Chain A
Amino acid sequence: MVERKFLPFMPDSTIIFVYIYAFITVFIFLLGIKRNVTRYDITIREFVKNICQNLKINKKGISDFISYIILQKKTQEQSFGKIGHSTIYFGCLILLIGTTIVAIDEDILSKISDLKILRGNFYILFEFVLDTAGIFVFFGAIYAIYRRFIVKPKYLYTDINDYIIPILLIIIISTGFVLEAYRLHLDNNPVAKYSYVGNFISSKLFLIDESLSGINNYRLLWYFHFIMALLLICLIPFSKLKHIFLIPLNFIVSPPKKRHRNAKLDVPFNILEIDENDEECEALENIGVGSIAQIRWNDRLQISSCINCGRCEEVCPANSSGRLLSPRNVIQKIARKIENAENKIELFEHIIKTEEIWGCTNCYACIEVCPAFIRHVDKFLDFRRFIVNTNFEDEAKINIFGNIDRNGNPYGLASYQRTEWLSDHEVSTIDEEDEFDYLYFIGCSSSYDQRCQEITKSVINILNHANINFVILGEHEICCGEPAKRMGEEGLFQMTAIQNIEKFEEYGVKNIIVHCPHCYNMLKHEYPEFNGNYNVIYHADMIDNLLKSQSIKLKTNIQKTSLTYHDPCNIGRLNGIFNSPREVINRVGQLREMDRNKESSFCCGGGGGNAFFKIPEKRRISQIRIQEALNTGASSIVAACPFCMIMLEDAKGNIENSRSITNVYDIAELVSMHLN
């Protein structure tokens, strides 16, 4: 029976050489790991403890780990990931398993028994599979080089890592194959044909020059191959390859949020829990992140996982519009400082401009595509918190905070004008009704912006048609606090939220209808932090249900025009509500999807406070989006967010050939106009 030979044609002393070298490699490798971990400002002991704890807590995460990390689900979503990265990854993974089996055979089994795994048919299969894996890695590496140096997509930055690693892979694999060819040639192996690559090379190589086949050449090449392979292992902690460990570790330490919790932001302190007499409350000392030293270890780990692939930059609306921000650049700049242990660096004095951070529209497209599971937007929020809390002198943004604080809306318009315009409509305020089932929380933009007031009127019309017993807050309504939260004025947000919650509690509110996704996220995800637990319903969901239950009926003779739907980031990507608006649209028209839709939808430019201040840019984000809508050939755009409405309406008028798109409608308007 055939079986795998261990170190054939090598002198007996080789094994000593192997062990010495392996030990050196392991030593360097461990040194590298220690170096990395200390950069994260945590001891190895604590680090390991934390990881074990996370593994224990998050047992359900194991299936995610398998699909995202082992099976590379995220990486597969992109074309290079599918071809280049997967071939290398799966190839190397199989080679690693193969090597492990050899190690088990030679270092364990052979020492204690006569058993051997690699013999007979299994060995034949092993040879076949490993040759195939080698081919995978070989061509994967060739493809990587082709992409880096010939295709050169503009989002790729190439440095020395990107030369060394694929070349090293090619060298290791090709020398491996040549060694196999030698072995087959010298050995006259009866099952040589299953080691098909080696067999092929052997049949060609030694035809050229038989003198090459000397055993000394084989030995030299073997040492070379072995040293190169160990060199690659040594390089892992010191090069880009460290992502092999960092990304899975980051995945364990900070597991990606589930879609329906994607919008949830962190709460650095909670005003309800602060004792005002406690003069040295720690939570209040350092608000936000302004220096490398202030970045927590888990965030350092996350930032260091960045592999500079540029996907976030490619999908980033701020970057696409020519703003200074590239999420990748921000993360990379910090990652480099962490790598160099420059802990004292003040981020906003030396390496990041505040303009970059304010340019983010909080659309989460970067988070969506990141194969390293980095949450850029969360980091930016920490930066904004720091900026706002540190001698912040930006008058325009300070005014927004002041407006929310005093007038209850970011525009600085008088609070008493909020619902004055609604007085002629069939709607009761909360003071007028003793009992009600739903509170309709209108939101600032739809109270003050004339265009968005139409959305409000439509929602009211629909609710009245369905005979729903609802009220509005009227003059009691104030901003939900979203701009303050997303712009980093956490204290103001919390005070605003608490004020709203007190009002809700006073009137016994249980169910809240909103049509603004920004309000939705605050009420649904953030208010529970301050004991505000309500059933928050998005208007598209509500309308969809009302249609399904036939509580409202549409006209029967609707002329179905073609419509395209713009997913609001705050409702789609951040909450996973993709279907209900589409189902509603399909009842009144024909849906034509834009190229970028659902989870890969493109922002309107209005999120993260960007509707209220200006950032230098070459082209408005909304114009890019409206062009995509035009490309569908649809006659109208359907939006489902007042901010998107304002942005798209604005852009509509600014595009030369916009005549083919006549209207931007909110989903509520679309239904309201077709009600029977």
Chain B
Amino acid sequence: MNITVLLKHVVDSTEVRFDKNTGELRLRGLPEKISDYDKHAIEEAIRLKSKFGGTVTAISFGKKDALKSLKEAVAMGADNGILINHPQVDQIYDPYYIATVLGKVIEKNDNCDLVLCGVMSEDITNKIVGPMIAASINFNYIPNVSKMSIEDNSKFKALCEIDEYEIEVEASFPIVISVSRKINEPRLATKIQIMKVQGKKISTISLEDIGMTESVEAGSACHFESFTPITKERKHVIFEGDATSAVKELINKLEQEKVL
């Protein structure tokens, strides 16, 4: 069984903020990590491997720093990693472009039976890269899988949630699956385990290597325009005194906020 797991190297959203002086969104020099959703996919890949055998290849489309995340995936138990390196990957907001790149690497990495990914990316909250890969390389796709067991080399059973329904399916490989966060608790790769990962287990390729020669600018269908802040400063409106009038004022405010 050849399992490919896709992971996104993201900035830690808690640290993202608009600079007080410049008003710009600060994204550089922030702590980064594997998108939490993808960690569940890595964990599931490792568990499937230990039960049913096979190899796990972790793939990430990212800048050089993403090597760290691939190393972490290997430390968790993946067999090897592939980084599709592009320095401006942060500026690609076209999910289909990303899906195409990942799809090409999956196709190139032949005999892939199972592609696992997280249900969405943590930073941009895109839920569509999984199905797009399936559409681009003509695999089937099952979303939100919360349980999975392999029957034999061609078939497996899975429990998934699709739009308010819990559905049990029996399906055949090859397939793309996005895993729900309920599926497992990802294991820790300690710092020292990550440090121990041998560099040779991770290969780096470029877009040219997979035949994507046109510039990212030309290839991408969604162009970045701007970031604007969503004000989340708490309002600190405090009512004191008579309870009845305080409650009335509160309800007024809540109705304005449309949260009732």
Contact = CB atoms under 8 A, between A and B. Distances in A.
Chains A and B in contact, CB within 8 Å = yes
Interface of A: 269, 271, 274, 276, 279, 281, 284, 287, 388-389, 391-395, 398, 401-402, 405-407, 412-416, 489-492, 494-495
A412 B198 CA distance: 30
Interface string B9-42: 0001011010000000000000111000000000
Nearest to B11: A406
B198 A284 contact: no
A406 B31 contact: yes
B186 A491 contact: no
Contacts of B33: 402, 406
13 contacts: A394-B188, A395-B186, A398-B186, A406-B31, A406-B32, A407-B12, A415-B15, A490-B192, A491-B190, A491-B191, A491-B193, A492-B191, A494-B191
Interface of B: 12, 14-15, 17, 31-33, 184-188, 190-196, 198
B233 to A, nearest CB: 12
Chain B interface helix/strand/loop/mixed:
mixed
A394 B33 CA distance: 18
Nearest to A402: B33
A271 B192 CA distance: 8
B195 A276 contact: yes
Contact of B185 (A287, A395, A412): A395
Contact of A414 (B17, B192, B198): B17
A489 B191 contact: yes
Nearest to B32: A406
Chain A interface helix/strand/loop/mixed:
helix
B14 A491 contact: no
A391 B187 contact: yes
A407 B188 CA distance: 17
Contact of B14 (A269, A413, A489, A490): A413
Contacts of B191: 405, 489, 491-492, 494-495
Nearest to A288: B190
A281 B187 CA distance: 23
Which of B17, B192, B193, B196 gathers most chain A CB within 10 Å? B192
Given A389-B192, A492-B191, A414 B185 contact: no
A271 to B, nearest CB: 8
Contacts of A388: 188, 190
A652 B64 CA distance: 51
B122 to A, nearest CB: 12
Given A274-B195, A279-B198, A406-B33, A392 B15 contact: no
Given A405-B31, A405-B191, A414-B17, 5 more contacts: A271-B195, A389-B192, A389-B193, A406-B15, A491-B195
A398 B15 contact: no
B186 A393 contact: yes
Contacts of B195: 271, 274, 276, 284, 491
A523 B164 CA distance: 53
Contact of B190 (A281, A406, A489): A489
A121 B185 CA distance: 80
A492 B15 contact: no
Contacts of A279: 196, 198
Nearest to A394: B185
A275 B194 CA distance: 14
Given A406-B15, A406-B33, A416-B17, A401 B196 contact: no
Nearest to B184: A393
User: Which are the 6 A-B pairs with shortest beta-carbon distances?
Assistant: A491-B191, A406-B31, A491-B192, A392-B188, A393-B185, A406-B12
Contacts of A412: 14
A269 B192 contact: yes
Contacts of B190: 287, 388-389, 392, 489-492
Contacts of A395: 185-186
Nearest to A406: B31
B139 to A, nearest CB: 29
Given A406-B15, A489-B191, A284 B185 contact: no
A415 B11 CA distance: 13
A407 B14 contact: yes
Which of B194, B196, B198 gathers most chain A CB within 10 Å? B196
A398 B191 CA distance: 12
Nearest to B194: A491
A75 B23 CA distance: 67
A393 B12 contact: no
A490 B188 CA distance: 13
